[in-house]
Chain A
Amino acid sequence: MNPETPCNNSGGCGSGSVDPGRRDVLKFLAVGATMATGAACDLEGFFRKSFRELSPADVRRMVTSWERKYSRKYGKAVTVSETGPMAGVKFGYGLDLSRCVGCRRCVYACVEENNQSRKEPQIQWIRVLEMDKAHGIDINHSDVYYDSAEVPRPGKFYMPVQCQQCDDPPCVKTCPVGATWKEKDGIVVVDYDWCIGCRCCMSACPYGARHFNWAEPNLPAQEMNPKTHVLGNRPRPKGVVEKCTFCIQRTREGLYPACVEICPVGARKFGNLLDPESEIRQAMDTKRVFILKEELATHPSFFYFYAT
């Protein structure tokens, strides 16, 4: 394999002059020689340490190189923040089921804010479940594909589900390479450059909150949100897992997550669990909250409640 051929981050190299069939064979030979592709293509990536082992100087160096790479690719000034967790802050989220009307505004606001793949594969971090009022919360008989001219539909109620940012996250436990972990402010993050794409975490997550880039993500340049975070919404490569990060690029700067801002009925509450005056703590104090699948002892930081 010619080391000077242009490289992409999808695990393969190609030179423009080689026809596709031959390219396959070449590519295969490279992979057959055990991952020579990775090594030849992305030497830095191949030999780099996992994010958690990097020194602050390393991180800054990588951030600069990502910013350059993304800016070139998307034709706009992309920033990659590396802001860490704030002291004395543990994020909590509240969702008022008596308010949610199932309009899916949050789903698409999230997609736009967090640079998810638009189609093939379509990735949406929020899944809104429609359930029968007659049966109460019965996730196994819920419907995520409901479509009608108007919501809420008679006899139905809605429950959006996204990453619950568990205190005992089964996904983190199962990751064989430590590419996902829980930050001090409670956000469970993924190192997109360390994830091997084995999808153990997806099997382990009881909330369907983890999503896989089954193909090269489809992110139109003009729709790309250039304000990104290393552990959040920066563009992902093919073959890795991603998930809701409570909009880490916003919340670590003090902003509300995009889903909170968009919700037309004010069903979404967000704040610092360690601050008794925060909206989330106020909701927990004055309403009776519950968590999803409490029998699994994942201890979510995501609380559902009925304000009315």
Chain B
Amino acid sequence: MAISSFLRGSGRIIASGDRAYKIWVGALLTLIAVGLFAYSFQLRHGLIATNMRDQVSWAFYVGNFTFLVGIAAAAVMLVIPAYVYNWGPIKEVAILGELLAISAIIMCLLFVLVDMGRPDRFLHIAPLLGSPNFPISIMAWDALVLNVYLGVNLAVVGHILFTGFHGKDYNKKIVIPLVLFSIPMAVSIHTVTAFLYNGMAARPYWNTAILAPRFIASAFCSGPAVLLVLFQVLRKRTGLPIKDEAIQKVAELMAYTMFLNLFLLGAELFKEYYSATEHLLYTQYFWSGIGPHKALVPYAWGGLLATVIAFFIFLVPKWRRNMLLLNIGCGLIYFGVYIEKGMGLVMPGMTPDTLGEIYEYRPTFVEWGVTAGIYGIGFLVFTFLVKLAVPIMSGHFTAVHADPATPAPDELGAEAH
């Protein structure tokens, strides 16, 4: 009874909204339709519809997966500064972080699914149902921690929203330990994902001990960037009480992690270029190309430029206090990390391949389409979740107010973009 009224109320909230909200949802549904079409093509023909081949056997999908694990991890890690700095609306921050994490993890799992040659056999990796290769396979661990992380976040968010809807306070004895548990889990999911690459001695580009630290550092740059923009949108549209000071604290923290991220990159580049062993080839392929093979070079330098500019914007207090500059900086760092951890990680790791062959991979339209569809799903999930959570958190939407005569407050229209 309680659940069905919660679901009905939620459905109403999601279905209603102003013009901007409807356009946004419509656009996302279009992306999803494109994705479905592209994926049906891929299913029919096999992964030959992508440009992955034996030489570069992981590429765009896996790159996006890796990047999004970072987003998922960092979103929840943001809870740490919220605690440390005793930042006002701690509950809201934690919940928003978890909503972002849920959406990102869903995208991650979808990217893994579309990358599989036999998606119909996905249960083979499930404990009890299948035969996960524990403890030795990092991929088996990755699948496990990602799903547990998704489960924990869904439980926390579901519980808070459900109790909030019924006008009750959430059960601190359940939520606080789960939120605290999700913080180390967030670090784990990204570390395990890094280990997936890190452990492969066959690929010297990945086989570097600072890979996991780099993953965490870059996640701490890109994840909060999403949330900073989101906070401003929500503050403007819903009056969520988020102080400037809090935003600035996060920005300052991001400046430090950006420095760390660049420092680790520099350390890696020094090792590669100074020792200049045969293993330099992969780094070279990314930054300067090998002979005529230069597909990634513009992205490499574009990404680095974006990262460096963003770093200075966040570093100089006067600049980061300018909200326009701050938002540009968020966009730049997001782009920079996307390049670094997407194509900058996966493709050079496999170019040249283990027998020295250079195959220049570029995604096909099918891959772009499927990727667009998955981002569409992720953004749609996130939009719906935020649309639900904000009024519940601010007490506008509860079982008491949710009778059909009272429409949801209009200002809750289009927030998350």
Residues A176 and B137 in contact in the complex (CB < 8 Å), given A24-B41, A37-B120, A214-B46: yes
Residues A240-285 near B (CB distance < 8 A): 240-241
How far apart are the CA atoms of A24 and B38 in the complex, in Å?
10
A194-207 interface code vs B (CB 8 A; 1 in, 0 out): 11111110111111
> In this assembly, does B116 line the interface, its C-beta being within 8 Å of a C-beta of chain A?
yes
Given contact pairs A129-B356, A212-B117, A237-B118, a sample of 20 additional A-B residue pairs in the complex whose CB atoms are under 8 Å apart: A31-B39, A35-B121, A37-B120, A38-B120, A127-B355, A144-B357, A174-B199, A177-B130, A177-B131, A177-B133, A178-B131, A195-B118, A197-B121, A199-B115, A203-B202, A212-B57, A214-B46, A214-B53, A239-B47, A240-B118
Contact: A194 with B121, CB < 8 Å? Answer: yes
> In this assembly, does B350 line the interface, its C-beta being within 8 Å of a C-beta of chain A?
yes
How far apart are the CA atoms of A141 and B40 in the complex, in Å?
39
Which chain A positions have C-beta within 8 A of B138?
A: 174
Contact of A196 among B40, B52, B121, B349 (CB under 8 A): B121
> In this assembly, does A179 line the interface, its C-beta being within 8 Å of a C-beta of chain B?
yes
Which chain B positions have C-beta within 8 A of A108?
A: none
Residues A181-230 near B (CB distance < 8 A): 194-200, 202-208, 210-216
Write the chain B residue with the least CB distance to A178. Answer: B133
A8-37 interface code vs B (CB 8 A; 1 in, 0 out): 001110000000000011011001101101
Which chain B positions have C-beta within 8 A of A139?
A: 354-356
Write the chain B residue with the least CB distance to A145. Answer: B357
How far apart are the CA atoms of A28 and B44 in the complex, in Å?
10
CB distance from A43 to the nearest CB of B (A): 11
Residues A203 and B57 in contact in the complex (CB < 8 Å), given A179-B124, A197-B116: yes
Contact of A174 among B53, B131, B132, B137 (CB under 8 A): B137
Contact: B120 with A39, CB < 8 Å? Answer: yes
How far apart are the CA atoms of A140 and B280 in the complex, in Å?
11
Which chain B positions have C-beta within 8 A of A194?
A: 121, 124, 131
**Looking at chain A, what size class is its interface with the partner chain?**
35 or more
> In this assembly, does B278 line the interface, its C-beta being within 8 Å of a C-beta of chain A?
yes
Interface centre among A140, A176, A212, by most B CB within 10 Å? A176
Contact: A212 with B54, CB < 8 Å? Answer: yes
Which chain A positions have C-beta within 8 A of B123?
A: 35
Contact: A206 with B117, CB < 8 Å? Answer: no
Residues A215 and B118 in contact in the complex (CB < 8 Å), given A174-B200, A200-B139, A208-B353: no
Which chain A positions have C-beta within 8 A of B41?
A: 24
Which chain A positions have C-beta within 8 A of B356?
A: 129, 138-142
Which chain B positions have C-beta within 8 A of A42?
A: 120
CB distance from B195 to the nearest CB of A (A): 11
CB distance from A216 to the nearest CB of B (A): 6
Contact: A206 with B201, CB < 8 Å? Answer: yes
Contact: B118 with A196, CB < 8 Å? Answer: yes
Contact of B137 among A46, A50, A200, A239 (CB under 8 A): A200
> In this assembly, does A134 line the interface, its C-beta being within 8 Å of a C-beta of chain B?
no
Residues B307-357 near A (CB distance < 8 A): 349-350, 352-357
Which chain B positions have C-beta within 8 A of A179?
A: 124
Which chain A positions have C-beta within 8 A of B117?
A: 195-199, 212-213, 238-241
> In this assembly, does B217 line the interface, its C-beta being within 8 Å of a C-beta of chain A?
no
Contact: B52 with A214, CB < 8 Å? Answer: yes
Residues B25-78 near A (CB distance < 8 A): 36-37, 39-41, 43-48, 52-55, 57-58
19 A-B residue pairs with Cβ-Cβ distance under 8 Å, sorted by A, are A27-B44, A32-B36, A140-B356, A170-B202, A173-B136, A176-B133, A176-B139, A176-B140, A178-B131, A178-B133, A198-B117, A199-B57, A200-B196, A203-B58, A203-B350, A207-B355, A208-B357, A213-B117, A241-B117
Q: Which 4 A-B pairs have the closest CB atoms?
A: A197-B117, A38-B120, A239-B117, A206-B202
A141-170 interface code vs B (CB 8 A; 1 in, 0 out): 110100000000000000001000000001
Contact: B58 with A199, CB < 8 Å? Answer: yes
Contact: A176 with B125, CB < 8 Å? Answer: yes
Which chain B positions have C-beta within 8 A of A57?
A: none
Which chain A positions have C-beta within 8 A of B199?
A: 174
CB distance from A307 to the nearest CB of B (A): 24
Which chain A positions have C-beta within 8 A of B116?
A: 196-198, 239
Residues B104-120 near A (CB distance < 8 A): 112, 115-120
Which chain B positions have C-beta within 8 A of A35?
A: 119-123
For chain B, the count of residues having a C-beta within 8 Å of the partner chain is 56
Which chain B positions have C-beta within 8 A of A87?
A: none
Write the chain B residue with the least CB distance to A12. Answer: B43
> In this assembly, does A107 line the interface, its C-beta being within 8 Å of a C-beta of chain B?
no
> In this assembly, does B145 line the interface, its C-beta being within 8 Å of a C-beta of chain A?
no
> In this assembly, does B143 line the interface, its C-beta being within 8 Å of a C-beta of chain A?
yes
> In this assembly, does B281 line the interface, its C-beta being within 8 Å of a C-beta of chain A?
yes
Residues A31 and B355 in contact in the complex (CB < 8 Å), given A173-B137, A214-B53: no
> In this assembly, does A106 line the interface, its C-beta being within 8 Å of a C-beta of chain B?
no
Which chain B positions have C-beta within 8 A of A41?
A: 120
Residues A204 and B281 in contact in the complex (CB < 8 Å), given A196-B117, A211-B54: no
CB distance from A241 to the nearest CB of B (A): 8
Contact: A11 with B136, CB < 8 Å? Answer: no
Write the chain B residue with the least CB distance to A241. Answer: B117
Contact: B201 with A296, CB < 8 Å? Answer: yes
> In this assembly, does A58 line the interface, its C-beta being within 8 Å of a C-beta of chain B?
no
Contact: A203 with B118, CB < 8 Å? Answer: no
How far apart are the CA atoms of A203 and B58 in the complex, in Å?
8
Contact: A177 with B58, CB < 8 Å? Answer: no
Which chain A positions have C-beta within 8 A of B357?
A: 144, 208
How far apart are the CA atoms of A200 and B65 in the complex, in Å?
14
B199-216 interface code vs A (CB 8 A; 1 in, 0 out): 111110000000000000
Which chain A positions have C-beta within 8 A of B54?
A: 202, 208, 210-212
Interface centre among A34, A142, A144, A196, by most B CB within 10 Å? A196
CB distance from B363 to the nearest CB of A (A): 15
> In this assembly, does A121 line the interface, its C-beta being within 8 Å of a C-beta of chain B?
yes
Residues A31 and B137 in contact in the complex (CB < 8 Å), given A139-B356, A203-B57: no
Which chain A positions have C-beta within 8 A of B353?
A: 208
Which chain B positions have C-beta within 8 A of A37?
A: 120
How far apart are the CA atoms of A206 and B200 in the complex, in Å?
9
